[in-house]
């Protein structure tokens, strides 16, 4: 390569290295980074350290780099050492990528200047520039795969030109291709198709020994890490069991085009795949259009070059679209290589000397966007890690020994902190977190509980709200979240729970998470009695139970027992979807051994008809005189937002609250979506207490409305508060779905609380 292009390559590599050396990541982030860090400390694929297929080659490299980091920076905390040790190889790979990419494109007979700009745009793409600093294997795997591709492309070019194939280079590339699957398993889709093409090309020339050597080398490279990995996992069956568990978990938790094929799902994945790596639409669309122009140009003039690009990257793109989580931005990383190269081919079609200035503008714009993300990731401390760090320090300073509970997705964070905070219990996969709290207090323990919860998870609703308080909230930088994509637990709430008056067990639908858990485990109240535990007290109490008829044509009977003693029976009618019942309990009703009485709620059949499906969506329990409220009718089941946002509920045309204000005033809060999204005009919402109009507003925009309800209007026990909307629609009538409900307001929050 001419000297004049070597200096720009060196400049690109040095600039990349300098920028990333000044922006090292000092915190682990999502579950994958923690799995890698745990694997570096104690490699165990069965325990998902890291998860199958294990990435043993990457972990071996990371052990070396982490040891170096620890020796150079012994004062850094364990998390920072692990993060930098893992990110080291991505930064090294990114530095080498300039040399590899320029040669990749020149091997396809592209102009050296255009090849340099293609490399600069790929490396400077926001996704690559940002991802190389993350403690993950994505960037390292991509660079290694493209290096293998480079050798294969050169060999294919020689064969096409009638020259002798470079046998040793082919064998080395095949061996490396097998080896780097242990670096990152997805590299298979970047190297295997080209190797198959190469094997076919040498067979067509009658060079069967070369094809055999290529195949054997790839197998040896794979076996070099696979055999020790399987042996370390306890044998083939143990490894396959771990792999099966991981696969089943992925297929259950991740929305895949392969399992839910539809045009809408495909369309939803195209944007994150091809525009997402550029982060900003004003950058992504021009690059995508230029790449399309470049592809058309190659199809007309250099079809062989386009074929090589397609075989190199199209299999991975197909795999990504079918099986990977589109919202996880880093999975689209390999897409930046062909897009950048094809975009430069498109720009090279400009007349005169416009190419270099225009290409420089695109690369500069990409670097500006990407470097902002790089600075943010260097300063970032994951919400989960900040929450655990603060909780650990508070426990040390105060001498507290609280029960620490986390959601399943944060289980790995707990595993990471346990060596420094041994009191953290061990959590099993898919364990229902709130049941730890229930068990803790049922046993009479007086230590408070700390629940470190994903802010969007709602199973905290199964604990008495009067017994819990938020100590702190942690969120990730919004811009950084856009770069990373969907990452669980990037909004964390630290709850403190004192001994609750009541705690719900399984079988309830007090939130979308609780409802889903009841359904998934076959513990809905028509199947198994729902449990709730009531703190014993020598004074009268009042409780309420509300819910809805969810399915089945027959009626049922709601049966309530406390400590096995029949307490109440209420009919559940199929023609009245909502129900709400209040029950006064004398002090003697709570007598018994242990700190909590056990209450069960089941649904019995009437006559010979099957018991109907019932959702127990409301519960409360408190001493007489404590304010309590619940929805009597008019609100449909809680639904989680598809994007992980807040829960929401549809209302009918009229919502009815029943309220025992305890002699005080109350405050009604309504938050919802603009009704103009469903109707031609804004709906008028009217709030009444009995016949008295408490307020009225037009829901023309997304709204948050708060109304004070005076005590003088709430003297009835219980008082009735109604919320009416003057417009409803039926999705079935509009041809939108099979939903025949009458829908009025889409509400994110609807509650009545004592007036402070």
**DSSP letters of 161-180?**
TTPPP-HHHHHHHHHHHHHH
- Confidence (pLDDT) at 714: 87
Average pLDDT over residues 176-199: 96
Radius of gyration of the chain (CA): 31
Average pLDDT over residues 615-619: 92
- Confidence (pLDDT) at 610: 85
How many beta carbons lie within 10 A of that of residue 729, not counting itself?
15
- Confidence (pLDDT) at 360: 94
- Confidence (pLDDT) at 46: 87
If we measure between CA atoms, which residue out of 156, 125, 485, 183 comes closest to residue 334?
A: 125
Average pLDDT over residues 635-643: 73
Dihedral sign computed on CA atoms, order 405, 408, 413, 415: positive
Least confident window among 387-396, 438-447, 494-503, 733-742: 733-742
Strand pairing report for 403-406 and 449-454: parallel
Rounded CA gap, 551 and 611, in Å? 9
- Confidence (pLDDT) at 326: 77
Least confident window among 215-224, 547-556, 562-571, 667-676: 547-556
Rounded CA gap, 581 and 538, in Å? 23
Average pLDDT over residues 206-223: 93
Average pLDDT over residues 614-628: 91
Rounded CA gap, 291 and 220, in Å? 37
| pLDDT surpasses 90 at 261 | no
| pLDDT surpasses 80 at 216 | yes
| Strand locations in 364-448 (E) | 403-406
Average pLDDT over residues 414-433: 88
If we measure between CA atoms, which residue out of 507, 391, 506, 407 comes closest to residue 458?
A: 407
- Confidence (pLDDT) at 727: 94
- Prediction pTM value: 0.84
Least confident window among 81-95, 381-395, 540-554, 719-733: 540-554
pLDDT in tens, 142-178: 999 999 999 999 999 999 888 888 889 999 999 999 9
pLDDT in tens, 519-545: 888 899 989 999 999 999 989 999 999
Q: 627-756: what CATH class?
A: mainly beta
Average pLDDT over residues 234-255: 77
The fold adopted by the segment(s) 504-621 is: Jelly Rolls (2.60.120)
If we measure between CA atoms, which residue out of 659, 690, 664 comes closest to residue 546?
A: 659
- Confidence (pLDDT) at 643: 56
pLDDT in tens, 669-692: 999 999 999 999 999 999 999 889
Say whether the peptide bond before residue 718 is cis (omega within 30 degrees of 0). Answer: yes
- Confidence (pLDDT) at 644: 54
Calculate the average pLDDT of the chain.
90
Q: What is the DSSP string of 249-289?
A: HHHHHS--TTTS--HHHHHHHHIIIIIGGG-SHHHHHHHHH
Rounded CA gap, 190 and 210, in Å? 21
- Confidence (pLDDT) at 240: 86
Find out whether 218 and 226 touch, Cβ atoms under 8 Å. Answer: no
pLDDT in tens, 48-91: 889 888 899 999 999 999 999 999 999 999 999 999 999 999 99
Confidence of residue 553 (pLDDT cuts 50, 70, 90): low
- Confidence (pLDDT) at 382: 86
Asked if the domains at 504-621 and 627-756 fall in one CATH topology, the answer is yes
Among left, alpha and beta (phi > 0; psi -120 to 50; other), residue 564 is left
- Confidence (pLDDT) at 488: 58
Q: What is the DSSP string of 205-218?
A: TT-HHHHHHHHHHH
- Confidence (pLDDT) at 252: 61
Rounded CA gap, 378 and 623, in Å? 51
- Confidence (pLDDT) at 639: 80
Say whether the peptide bond before residue 92 is cis (omega within 30 degrees of 0). Answer: no
- Confidence (pLDDT) at 432: 87
Beta bridge partners of 379: none
If we measure between CA atoms, which residue out of 123, 73, 110, 549 comes closest to residue 355?
A: 110
DSSP, res 348: T
pLDDT in tens, 324-383: 887 788 999 999 999 999 999 999 988 878 999 999 999 999 999 989 888 887 888 888
If we measure between CA atoms, which residue out of 500, 363, 57, 50 comes closest to residue 233?
A: 50
DSSP, res 101: H
Q: What is the DSSP string of 707-718?
A: EEE-GGG--STT
Burial class (CB in 10 A: 0-12, 13-18, 19+), 691: exposed
Rounded CA gap, 492 and 410, in Å? 10
Rounded CA gap, 722 and 686, in Å? 8
Average pLDDT over residues 297-301: 92
- Tell me how far apart the terminal alpha carbons of the chain are, to the nearest angstrom: 76
| pLDDT surpasses 70 at 487 | no
Query: Which range, 191-195, 382-386, 708-712, is most confident?
Result: 191-195
Find out whether 709 and 753 touch, Cβ atoms under 8 Å. Answer: no
If we measure between CA atoms, which residue out of 39, 59, 45 comes closest to residue 241?
A: 45
- Confidence (pLDDT) at 439: 94
- Confidence (pLDDT) at 642: 57
- Confidence (pLDDT) at 253: 61
Placement of tokens 């209007």 in the chain: 713
Rounded CA gap, 491 and 473, in Å? 7
For residue 737, what are its two tokens? 């779905």
Average pLDDT over residues 135-143: 96
Locate the domains of the chain by residue range. Answer: 3-20+29-379, 387-497, 504-621, 627-756
Strand pairing report for 666-672 and 502-504: unpaired
Q: What is the DSSP string of 487-531?
A: -TTSEEEEEEE---SEEE-SS--SSHHHHHHHHHTT--TTTS-EE
Find out whether 648 and 636 touch, Cβ atoms under 8 Å. Answer: no
CA distances from 251 to 115, 259, 486 (A): 39, 8, 17
- Confidence (pLDDT) at 251: 62
For residue 286, what are its two tokens? 């021009």
| pLDDT surpasses 90 at 241 | no
Query: pLDDT over 70 for what percent of the chain?
Result: 97
| pLDDT surpasses 90 at 640 | no
- Confidence (pLDDT) at 339: 97
């Amino acid at each position: 390569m001419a000297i004049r292009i070597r200096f720009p390559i060196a400049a690109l590599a040095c600039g990349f290295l300098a920028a990333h050396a000044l922006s090292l990541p000092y915190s682990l982030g999502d579950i994958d980074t923690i799995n890698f860090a745990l694997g570096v400390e104690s490699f165990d694929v069965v325990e998902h350290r890291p998860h199958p297929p294990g990435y043993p080659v990457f972990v071996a490299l990371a052990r070396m780099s982490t040891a170096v980091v620890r020796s150079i920076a012994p004062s850094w905390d364990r998390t920072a050492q692990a993060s930098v040790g893992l990110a080291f190889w991505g930064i090294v790979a990114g530095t080498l990528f300039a040399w590899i990419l320029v040669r990749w494109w020149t091997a396809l007979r592209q102009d050296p200047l255009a090849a340099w700009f293609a490399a600069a745009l790929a490396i400077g793409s926001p996704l690559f520039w940002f991802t190389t600093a993350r403690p993950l294997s994505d960037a390292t795997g991509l660079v290694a795969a493209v290096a293998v591709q480079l050798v294969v492309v050169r060999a294919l070019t020689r064969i096409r030109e009638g020259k002798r194939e470079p046998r040793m280079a082919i064998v080395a590339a095949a061996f490396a291709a097998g080896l780097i699957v242990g670096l990152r398993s997805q590299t298979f889709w970047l190297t295997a198709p080209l190797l198959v093409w190469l094997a076919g090309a040498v067979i067509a020339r009658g060079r069967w020994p070369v094809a055999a050597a290529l195949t054997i080398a790839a197998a040896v490279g794979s076996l070099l890490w696979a055999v020790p990995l399987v042996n370390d996992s306890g044998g083939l069956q143990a490894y396959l069991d771990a792999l099966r568990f991981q696969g089943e978990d992925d297929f259950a938790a991740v929305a895949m085009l392969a399992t839910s094929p539809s045009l809408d799902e495909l369309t939803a994945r195209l944007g994150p795949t091809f525009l997402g790596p550029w982060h900003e639409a004003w950058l992504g669309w021009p690059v995508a259009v230029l790449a399309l122009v470049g592809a058309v140009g190659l199809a007309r003039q250099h079809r062989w070059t386009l074929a090589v690009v397609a075989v190199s990257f199209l299999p991975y793109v197909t795999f990504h679209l079918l099986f990977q989580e589109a919202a996880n931005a880093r999975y689209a990383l390999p897409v930046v290589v062909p897009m950048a190269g094809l975009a430069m081919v498109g720009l090279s079609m400009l007349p005169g000397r416009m190419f270099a200035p225009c290409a420089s503008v695109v690369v500069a714009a990409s670097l500006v966007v990407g470097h902002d993300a790089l600075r943010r990731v260097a300063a970032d401390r994951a919400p989960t890690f900040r929450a655990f760090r603060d909780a650990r320090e508070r426990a040390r300073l105060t001498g507290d020994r609280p029960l620490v509970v986390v959601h399943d997705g944060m289980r790995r964070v707990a595993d990471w902190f346990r060596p420094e905070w041994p009191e953290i219990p061990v959590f099993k996969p898919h364990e229902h977190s709130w049941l730890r709290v229930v068990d803790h207090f049922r046993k009479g323990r007086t230590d408070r509980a700390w629940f470190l919860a994903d802010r969007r998870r709602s199973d905290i609703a199964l604990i008495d709200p009067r017994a819990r308080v938020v100590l702190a909230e942690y969120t990730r930088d919004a811009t950084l979240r856009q770069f990373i994509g969907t990452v669980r637990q990037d909004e964390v709430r630290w709850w403190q729970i004192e001994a609750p008056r009541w705690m719900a067990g399984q079988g309830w639908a007090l939130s979308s998470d609780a409802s889903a858990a009841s359904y998934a485990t076959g513990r809905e109240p028509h199947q198994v009695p729902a449990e709730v535990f009531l703190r014993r007290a020598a004074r009268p109490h009042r409780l309420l139970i509300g819910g809805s008829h969810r399915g089945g044509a027959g009626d049922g009977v709601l049966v309530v027992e406390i400590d096995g003693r029949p307490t109440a029976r209420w009919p559940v009618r199929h023609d009245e979807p909502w129900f709400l019942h209040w029950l006064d309990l004398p002090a003697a009703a709570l007598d018994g051994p242990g700190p909590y009485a056990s209450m069960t709620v089941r649904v019995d059949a009437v006559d010979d008809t099957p018991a109907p499906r019932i959702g127990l969506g409301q519960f409360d329990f408190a001493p007489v005189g404590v304010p309590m409220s619940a929805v009597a009718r008019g609100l449909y089941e809680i639904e989680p937002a598809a994007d992980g946002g807040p829960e929401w509920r549809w209302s009918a045309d009229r919502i009815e609250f029943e309220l025992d204000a305890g002699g005080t005033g109350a405050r009604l809060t309504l938050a919802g979506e603009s009704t103009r999204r469903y109707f031609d005009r804004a709906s008028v919402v009217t709030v009444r207490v009995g016949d008295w109009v408490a307020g009225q507003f037009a829901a023309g925009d997304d709204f948050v409305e708060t109304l004070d309800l005076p005590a003088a209007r709430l003297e009835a026990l219980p008082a009735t508060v109604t919320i009416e909307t003057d417009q409803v629609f039926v999705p079935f009538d509009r041809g939108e779905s099979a939903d025949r409900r009458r829908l009025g307001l889409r509400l994110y929050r609807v509650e009545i609380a004592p007036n402070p």
